[in-house]
Structure 1
Amino acid sequence: MKIVRKCDGLPLAVKVMGGLLSTRSRSEREWEAVLNHHAWSVVGLPKELDSRIYLSYEDLSSQQKQCFLYCSLFPKGTSILWRRVIPMWISEGFIQPHTDRSSSHDDQLEEIAAEHYQELITRNLIERQGTYRCTMHDVVRSFAEFIAREESVVVQDMQVAGGSNDSLVRRLSIGPTSLSVRTLFISSKIKSLVPELSLNSFSILRVLFIHGGDCDRLVGSICQLRHLRYLGLEDTNISRLPDDIDNMKFLQHIVVRGSVHLENLPRTIIQLVHLRTLDMYGLNPNVVIPKEFGGLRNLRLLGGFRVHMDMDGRWCSLEEIRPLSKLRRLTLHGLENVSASSLAEMARISSKEHLEYLELQWSNSACMELRDEIEKQQQQVVEEVLEKLCPPPRIHHLIIQGYFGRTLPNWMMVVEACAFKSLSLLRLQDLPCCTKLPDGLCRLPSLKVLDIIDAPAIKSVGSEFQASYSSSTVGGGVTASTSAAFPNLTHLYLKGLYKWEEWDWEEQTAGTMAMHALERLQIRKCKLSCFPPGLANNKRHALRELTLRELNNLTSVENFTSVVKLVVFDCPKLKRISGISRLHKIRIVRCPKLEVLQGVPVLDSIELEDGTIERLPGYLPCVNPRFLKLICSKELHDSIISGSSSECEKISHITKHDINYVEEDSDED
């Protein structure tokens, strides 16, 4: 409590201190050391900067301090992407190997950088936004800018947002305007803001990152940056990379993500033997991968690699993946161009022991329109190709998108799936012909996030999908045990299973209940009319958030006793919500037939949105929230505001109101 009192009731201070304490052992001695740390009384900080953030900062290692301060260069309001900042830290030389590890210096860098990234999240110095991105609180950003003021300048909207104009400045973030020495960020239209900008004077620049704008004219001077490690040209109008890019001997990272005007990769790129990152995500599909690309054996991240074949069909670009044994992240596009499973096998995906992230994409736009006419032979090839693209056991994140086979591969079935002991995120998206979910997913021991999006051919989900399973051990006898399905799943997102009507899932005992760790569930666009007893029952204690959208047949939501936040959106047949004893906040949008809202004794906040209703729903007098937010028709709004309508009596017991109206053609979301 002494540490909490020192936080003066400020939520951010409590979060930062909680993050710091989470890195310490739970002993009185350790916590006393934090309480008595000299940073509580540090002098020299401006009064608006928080000493509790300084305490957490001081507790970082020297490498982590540099990484943390670097994050303040990203413009306010933008995300700090994992895939972007880690190569930048490496390029700046912030990442040093652990002396107690057996692997080489070079092999450790991405792994160590990822550890630092996670440490900053744990300490709440950066805040997670989804799986792959973070942001920095304004107060934390101000602190970081102050600490880094002698080396970094951030310029936004022609104003210096942080840092100093001192000659020691080594890093500059322009968003929009100015110059730097070792790191240069530009998030603006260069032509209008820096008309005379040339790269020739940046002789020791290590990191160049330009997002958006007209920078094609700068391509000719890029090769003057002899010390450049990181070249990022995202969403720009560049049409080419320098033909003599092989002269940039120190270049380790090239990111041209979203630069759709890029016509081709220079043949000389295969000479960049130190290249660790090549991110081509979102490029023109006609960009061709040069032969002998497989010589870039130092690659760790390869994004947007488009599969294509020679005109004579004798060479497939997948061959170039085979020697890239150090890959940690790989995205393959254009897999519909693979004409035989033997070509997919040549990539040897399953043998890449360091691979943690794999994304496999097919383009099935033509197939979506002619789904009934897809030749069985074509589907068979697609199924065989995916079978040969089996990820290695170490895989953490797997995304399959656009696959138009009828069945998912054998390595997703019961026995084989057990091999993926580290898989924590699985997304299956845009599967137009798949009729059945694989049974093996329930055995994945580390799976936390499962997204199934746009699988319109699935009509039912059988009990085998979430069935508990038996395991046995032989050794002096046989020991049998029953294990719960999806033992660590926390987030489940099911969207666009348009024909899905049945979910067979009987209630299970507490010890074998499937998805017992589930915290957040979202279901959208399907034909379910109710939820199975195996999902909705009083034995489920972890589920906190439930979001239901565009469920046209849903009639009731009942017995989700642990849910504290419920959102129901566009459920035209929904009549009843009950038995949600811990519900704290509910949002109801365009559910005109809802008649019953009961069994919600601790409800604190209700949001009701429907621009067509003429009267307040009859269930409002039956609940006792503290706050009501109402968005309704102008007629109902005016009636309530006047105070003379009988409708006012339905909400007179609610302490606080926020009542607004929408025009008839508005679509509140």
Structure 2
Amino acid sequence: MAMVVEAFVTGLLSALGDLAMKEADGLLAVPGEVQRLQSTLRTIRLVLRDAERRRIDDEAIDDWLRELKDAMYDADDILDECRVQAEKKPTERAGAPKRRRFSWFSGFRRHVELTHEIGARIRDLNRRLEEISARRTAFDFRVYSDPKPTSRVSRKTSPVLESDIVGTVMEEDARDLVELLTKEDTRRNVLVLAIVGIGGIGKTTLAQRVFHDDRTKACFRRSMWVCVSQEFVESDVLRDIIAGAGGSDGGARSRALLEPVVESLLRGNKFLLVLDDVWSEHIWEDLLRNPLQGGAAGSRVLVTTRNEGIARRMKAVHTHRMKLLPLHDGWSLLCKKVAHRDDEERDARSLADIGLKIVEKCDGLPLAIKTIGGVLCTNGLSRRAWEQVLRSAAWSQTGLPEGVNGALYLSYEDLPSQLKQCFLYCAMFPEDYIHLRQYLIQFWIAEGFVQAAGDLTPEEAGEEYYRELIRRSLLQPHPMYHDQFGCTMHDLLRSLAHFLTRDESLFVTDVQQGWKSTASAKLRRVSVIAPGTQRLQPILDAIKKQESVRTLLLERTSVSEMDVDDHLRKLRRLRVLHLADTWILRLPQHIGELIHLRYLDLSDCHIRELPESIGNLVNLQYLILNRSRISHLPKSVVKLHNLRSLDLECVPVEGFPSGIGRLQHLNVLRGLVVNTGRAWCSLEEVSNLRRLRWLAISKLERAWAAAEPGEAAAKGLRNNQDLEWVEMHCSPCRADTPPPSFGYAEEEMERIERVFDTALHPPSSLDKLEIQHFFGRRYPTWLTTASVGLLLPNLRRLVLVDCRLCPWLPPLGKLPNLEFLRIRGASAVVAIGSEFLGCEAAGGKRRSSSPVLFPKLTELWFGGMMNWEEWRWGVAEDDEVAVAMPRLSHLHLVDCPRLRDLPEALNRHATALTRMQIKGVGSLKSICGFSSMKRLQIHDESDLESVSDLPALEFLEVSNSKMSSLPKWLLKALQAQFTALQRLDIEGSSQLLRSCLQNGEEWPRISHVPIVYIQDDQHKYIYYTKSSSTAYTNLKEHGEDQEQDMDDTHGNEAGEERLDSFLAPIPQDRRAARKPPWTNLCLCSE
């Protein structure tokens, strides 16, 4: 494809300029050939943009481009080998002198042979390219003087995912679907509803809107979202359901083990399951129908699909058919995409005449409108730019895959060539695959797609590419990941990418059919991910014949080391080798011959060691070994001078070899294990890695460097000004060591304090910090100093876990940008007071140098603080502190059994607090006065006396398995306090459950609440909705619990009784006044 060629030409010209070509000319004995190559490449580049556009319809141009592309790949390989030779030291090129002269002479002769071989290949390449270039005149290509700039980036916008809801049609559709999902229906426990429409019309957007509506959340006890796609894996679907329901799969991978977990989690619970992008009814009939039968009455499954037949075969009781977006709603969506400020909106409105014509060309598809909005946003709000888009020939492009219109192709064509490469690479993964930003960027860099300009590192340039693709709506941020850390690709865009890469890339799900479809192609990239139980040998045999493969992704397959051994002898051009979660136990020694390899991933493999030859991979940039079983790294790893990431999360390695500090390109070092002795990497070495961005260190109790710090150790990490994320872990103390010292000697505690004070002093650039199992008696001085806000001005996330010996918390209120704080296992803390906020004693008063403490904190967790008794605010009314925690929205208190009270001033300062979780805080007396509180969860609180003055409370959950009657504080609050309460959830004993039946003692006290759900520990339940005067229960007088086929539409399950005394006719159309739904579809999970 021309896109690949244009990208290669740009990259090759850059590589030729960077290489010391005079030395290369002399080295390869090819004077003038490099300049000749540069001239030919510049000539060819002028016609590539037009060639790309015309190749889809013109087979001759397509053949010409394919031949040119093959030559470019060969050129890239040759230059790579040239670069390797040029970077070698003279002694290495000639062979290091040995005791015998013959050894030196033999090495020199091999060097001469190699240089002449490369030189001959360059001369042959020049002849090929000149002949190809000469034939370009036959096609009468249009000449473009300059390529599109790679770094062209649209205006910066908020990273928060924006809602795509515009106009009234989708709002009304969302309200109607919420109404249908939440109203009572007596036909059967679990009902299926469907949203049907063509690709890109907004099915997922509508489903998200319904899923996150306040009434939907209040109605269902469990809510789960599963992306299904064409190539779904049964075990993955079940695991996603388990995770969404708040359970754990325990590491199980098989359907037989996962199905009982799903059944147990959902039995007796009213749930909502969204199955997004369903292509076959078999996911319901063969996989999910039976495990979901135990759900409580009112459970729902919402399906999105392109095929209405699937909805019928799944016996959907209602099918919502999506309609194309009306013209003016489409215009509103386009304006929303291109204008983010008032002045920009005015400019856009002035272009309405052109804009409406552009929207009309998008055929009413929201996806097309959004991607075209990305094009317009990049080109600017000018009449000339918009007219150019309107007149673009891409609108009428023919030969595209079904469902892909000209707007999507235009959005692709508008990309600079390097971004095109990055976009197309995403098609190597399954539908709805969640791409994690860090690893996707590493793939791009390893393939040579990222061209860093100026002072940017390749990773920083890659992040710009990534965010630009998101801004253009070509990638979609996944709502469950913070700061756009994860993204997906819409299946229509993936279909376009597959089409454009069909001659060189293969993604395999069906081993037999997938390979036959491209058996004659010259493949460059092959991806086989989770093919289930299919036999892999046919495709493995075929891959061996594809010696031009540059990327090989084999994930969650039964590939063994025998397969790898055989394949690596053939695939000498590999840049990316991804073997995660395979059966590999070892790598062959000859892996060191893959001199082009940039990326090697052995995560989740059972491999126990790496061969010494790994040090010969001179171009290796990314070595990822997460959760493997490697016990030691070979010494040769320190020869990998181009290494950018060394990732060993959860690997039982004993230490890192000395010399890691020489790997000056490292920006990610995770899983670093501290060990003593000169043979091991020291903390002082780590401080020399000035380009680090992410550092994770474990077993810090072994560190001795700070006991007698040298100059480098004394500075710690302060000079590592690129460092953004640091994890500092000591080993957990043994379970049999009692407090207060937990088995640590005084000398050990003092030494670890010195290590943290000096050798681990972080830089001011730090964004995230995690400290685990620290066993000093005080926190590090850089965290406890009054100037902590100046030392760590950029810190946004802080996690302190199991710092068991520190009796006082640091003055964290002075951190100006802290957003998330989790403190767990601080068992020495008895009281928290003004020191936590950062108040200073002055003249008898507590004062702060800042008028606002914790100014940006939004989420606060305290957990596992078994001795914490008192939480004092420590700020008097006449202090100079204006406010503290003004943005706090979520507060979690878990397993703090001795805490008696919340600070009196908390409700006055934390006025944005909307959610509170109280669990295992048995001594707490009261929760009062939080005016914005909407959601409150209270678990196992035996001493609670008062919950009051919560005027905005909408959802209340009370849980205590021993509770046999409603607590007094709840009875009092229900009488007059909770006027806004929409839902009450209670978990208690079977005795409490029976007392809440119609004739029970507790019934009159809760019957006024709109929605009530009560459950005991045996999964017996009562579910009541006041709006329909309807209640359901599976509680039997004699404890029977029978089952009924979910397809029975003639009443309830046999194990469920309807409380007929509550029955009232259900109107056909209950369109009462509706509460405004929650519209924020961007959920960020930390």
User: Shorter chain as normaliser: what TM range?
Assistant: 0.7 to 0.9
1:40 is aligned, of 362, 369, 378, to 362
Q: Which among 814, 832, 835 is matched to residue 443 of structure 1?
A: 814
Which residue number corresponds to residue 143 of structure 1?
A: 492
User: If you compute each CA radius of gyration, which structure gives the higher value, 1 or 2?
Assistant: 2
Matches within 5 A, 1:168-207: 170-177=524-531, 178=539, 181-191=549-559, 198-207=567-576
Higher helix share: 2
Change in Cα spacing, 1:654 to 1:522, as seen in structure 2 (3 Å) is farther
Quickly say closer, same or farther: Cα 1:396–1:530, change in 2 above 3 A: same
Contact 2:597/2:620 (8 A) holds in 1: yes
* Residue matched to 1:216: 585
Residues 374-523 of structure 1: pairs in structure 2 closer than 5 A: 374-388=744-758, 389-412=760-783, 413-439=785-811, 441-467=812-838, 482-505=850-873, 512-523=882-893
Residues 560, 580 of structure 1: 8 Å contact kept: yes
Per mean C-alpha deviation after superposition, the further-off stretch among 168-177 and 460-469 is 168-177
Identical-residue share of aligned pairs (%): 28
Q: What is the aligned counterpart of 2:451 among 91, 96, 99? A: 96
Contact 2:657 2:680 in 1 (8 A): no
Secondary structure in 1 matching 2:494: helix
Going from structure 1 to structure 2, the CA distance change for 1:50 and 1:128 (only over 3 Å counts) comes to farther
For residues 495 and 508 of structure 1, what CA distance do their matches in structure 2 show? 27
Gaps of 5+ in 1: 472-479, 642-647, 665-669
Query: Is the Cα contact below 8 Å between 2:793 and 2:816 reproduced in 1?
Result: yes
Q: Distance in 2 between matches of 1:63 and 1:204?
A: 21
TM-aligned CA deviation for residue 235 of structure 1: 1.3
| DSSP 3-state at the match of 2:683 | helix
Change (3 A) 1:544 1:654: farther
Q: Structure 1 residues 519, 162: closer, same or farther in 2, change over 3 A?
A: farther
Which whole-Å deviations, capped at 9, do the CAs of 1:55-96 have from their partners, x for residues lacking one?
987887665565455455455676533442232222123322
Which residues of 2 match residues 506-655 of structure 1 at below 5 A? 512-526=882-896, 527-537=898-908, 540-590=910-960, 592=963, 594-595=967-968, 596=970, 597-598=973-974, 599-612=977-990, 613-614=992-993, 615-616=995-996, 618=1002, 621=1005, 624-632=1008-1016, 637=1021
State the match for 1:5 in structure 2.
167
| Structure-1 separation of matches of 2:838 and 2:457 | 40
Higher relative contact order (CA 8 A, sep 6+): 2
Counterpart Cα distance in 2 of 1:50 and 1:463: 62
Distance 2:406 2:167 in 1: 14
Maintained 8 Å contact 2:561/2:583 = no
Does the CA-based 8 Å contact 2:664-2:690 persist in structure 1?
yes
Bigger mean CA offset, 190-199 vs 368-377: 190-199
**Retained in 2: the 8 A contact 1:198–1:221?**
no
Q: CA deviation at 1:449?
A: 1.0
Aligned 1:33-72 pairs, distance under 5 A: 37=358, 40-41=362-363, 63=418, 66-67=421-422, 70-71=425-426
Residue 570 of structure 1, CA deviation: 2.8
Root-mean-square deviation over aligned CA pairs: 4.2
Q: Secondary structure in 2 aligned to 1:577?
A: strand
Letter of the 1:335 partner, please give it. Answer: L
Q: Contact 2:560–2:582 (CA<8 Å) still a contact in 1?
A: no
Query: CA separation in 1, counterparts of 2:861 and 2:514?
Result: 39
Q: Distance in 2 between matches of 1:431 and 1:211?
A: 34
Could you list the per-position Cα deviations for residues 365-385 of structure 1 after superposition, in whole angstroms to 9, with x for gaps in the alignment?
238724434222211111111
Whether the 8 Å contact between 1:631 and 1:660 is mirrored in structure 2 is no
Contact 1:327 1:354 survives alignment (8 Å): yes
Aligned residues: 632
CA drift of 1:399 comes to: 0.9
1:279 aligns with 647
Query: Could you tell me which amino acid in structure 1 is paired with residue 558 of structure 2?
Result: I
Paired with 1:183 and 1:525, the residues of 2 have a C-alpha distance of: 48
* Contact preservation (8 Å) 1:627, 1:657: no
**3-state SS of the aligned residue for 2:612?**
coil
The whole-number CA distance in structure 2 between the counterparts of 1:176 and 1:576 is 53
Any idea what the Cα deviations from partners look like across 1:17-56, whole Å, max 9, x if unmatched?
6997387444223375876545623677777779998898
Does 588-597 or 407-416 show the bigger shift?
A: 588-597
Question: 2:810·2:835 contact (CA, 8 Å) conserved in 1?
Answer: no
Q: Provide, for residues 484-531 of structure 1, a one-character-per-residue CA deviation record: whole Å limited to 9, x for no partner.
A: 101111111111111111110167779822110112221111022332
Write the letter of the residue equivalent to 1:250: N
Check the 8 A contact 1:149/1:162 in 2, yes or no.
Answer: no
Name the TM-score, length of structure 1 as normaliser. Answer: 0.82
| In 2, Cα distance between equivalents of 1:624 and 1:77 | 43
Distance 1:55 1:344 in 2: 60
Moved more, 624-633 or 229-238: 624-633
TM superposition shift of 1:284: 1.5
Compare 541-550 and 350-359 and name the one that shifted more.
541-550
Letter in 1 for 2:798: L
Range with bigger deviation, 607-616 or 619-628? 619-628
Larger strand fraction of residues: 1
Instruction: Please say if residues 561 and 586 of structure 2, whose CA atoms lie closer than 8 Å, have aligned partners that are also in contact.
Output: no
Secondary structure of the residue aligned to 1:211 is coil
Aligned AA for 2:967? L
Q: Structure 1 residues 336, 304: closer, same or farther in 2, change over 3 A?
A: same
- On the 8 A contact 1:146/1:163 being kept in 2, the answer is no
Partner of 1:351: 719
Residue 695 of structure 2 is matched in structure 1 by: 330
Q: Which moved more, 1:338-347 or 1:236-245?
A: 338-347
- The amino acid that maps onto 2:694 is R
Task: After TM superposition, give the deviation of residue 121 of structure 1 in Å.
Answer: 6.3
Change in CA separation of 1:272 and 1:487 when aligned onto 2, cut-off 3 Å: same
Deviations 1:245-284, CA, capped at 9 Å, x for gaps: 2332221110111112x23222222121111111122222
CA shift in 2, pair 1:364/1:23, >3 Å: farther
Query: Does the CA contact (< 8 Å) of 2:437 and 2:487 recur in 1?
Result: no
Q: Distance in 2 between matches of 1:547 and 1:414?
A: 31
- Give the Å deviation of 1:469: 7.2
- Equivalents in 1 of 2:507, 2:1008: separation in Å? 49
2:834–2:875 Cα contact (<8 Å) kept: no
Cα displacement (A) at 1:626: 4.1
String of CA shifts for 1:188-219, please: whole Å, max 9, x gaps.
Answer: 14248996872334333322222223112544
User: Larger deviation: 222-231 or 76-85?
Assistant: 76-85
The one-letter code matched in structure 1 to 2:666 is L
> What per-residue deviation string (whole Å, max 9, x for no partner) do you get for residues 418-437 of structure 1?
22111111111111111110
